[in-house]
Amino acid sequence: MNLTYYPFKPMLINNLKPTLIETNNQKVYTDLISGLNGYTDTIKISNDKFELEDCEKSVKWIGDAFVQTDLNRMFQGQLQKQIVENLDDETRQKLTELNNQLKSLVFDATFTLDLPLKVSSEFDPLRLVKYCDVGFVSALKQNPYDIIETVLKAASELKESKILVLTNVRNYLSVSQFNELVSLITTLNLNILFIEFSETDNHENFNKCRY
């Protein structure tokens, strides 16, 4: 995919390595953020043939992952569905048996009331997974690297094909941590765009990125 911000030439974004845009210009920084969020038309996204694509359908805005990201709000529902889809036959059978046992106990409990009550016999593994409240551990909120890493791994597990846009990543990570993150990204088959605001040129710290 390509990102175009006039009058600059198109910038390539693909899954081979992350693309990083660093600027010390507030207007450029603002245009990039507003455009990639779909608030303005300052940014154009095109495919490999330079055919325009809908920015909203091509970009997944993450932003400042440490400050803004609620992992459960962003991924929990999709990951719960993925867990159900990945259930093997043996596990599905065991869940069916447990589901029947649970509903039988609940049905027996209805006899304490003199009312014509029923209990649904439907087996819905997704409801069971939701009941178990499968979600991310709260300790992740304390470590910027862990949050960012988890966002990327979750997106990879869900086979996300959109451009994932992250801002201010370098503010939270050392050079070695950032390079470690970039090495991870190259294994995840993701289209990553980092946007950084800096008064100084830090290109030597980003030599593993498309800078």
DSSP code string of the chain: -EEE-TTSPPEE--SSS-EEEEE--HHHHHHHHHHHTTSSSS-EEE-TT--EE-HHHHEEEEESHHHH--HIIIIIHHHHHHHHHT--HHHHHHHHHHHHHHHHHHHHHGGGSSS---------HHHHHHHTT----GGGGG-HHHHHHHHHHHHHHTT--SEEEEESHHHHS-HHHHHHHHHHHTTTT-EEEEEEE-SS--GGGGTTSB-
- When pLDDT is averaged across residues 133-159 and rounded to a whole number, the result is 90
Phi-psi category of residue 38: left, alpha or beta, with phi > 0 → left and psi -120 to 50 → alpha: left
Quick one: pLDDT band at residue 20, thresholds 50, 70, 90?
very high
pLDDT in tens, 101-135: 999 999 999 999 999 999 998 899 999 999 999 99
In angstroms, the Cα distances linking 24 to 4, 30, 42, 131 are 18, 11, 18, 48
- When pLDDT is averaged across residues 129-158 and rounded to a whole number, the result is 90
Whether pLDDT at 140 is above 80 = no
Whether pLDDT at 139 is above 80 = no
Residues of the chain above pLDDT 70, percent:
100
| pLDDT value for 210 | 95
| pLDDT value for 173 | 93
| pLDDT value for 201 | 87
Considering the chain, what is the average pLDDT of its residues? 93
Domains of the chain: 2-73+136-206 (3.40.50.11940), 74-131 (no CATH)
Whether pLDDT at 204 is above 90 = no
- When pLDDT is averaged across residues 158-174 and rounded to a whole number, the result is 95
| pLDDT value for 121 | 86
pLDDT in tens, 45-90: 999 999 999 988 999 999 998 887 889 999 999 999 999 999 999 9
Whether pLDDT at 194 is above 90 = yes
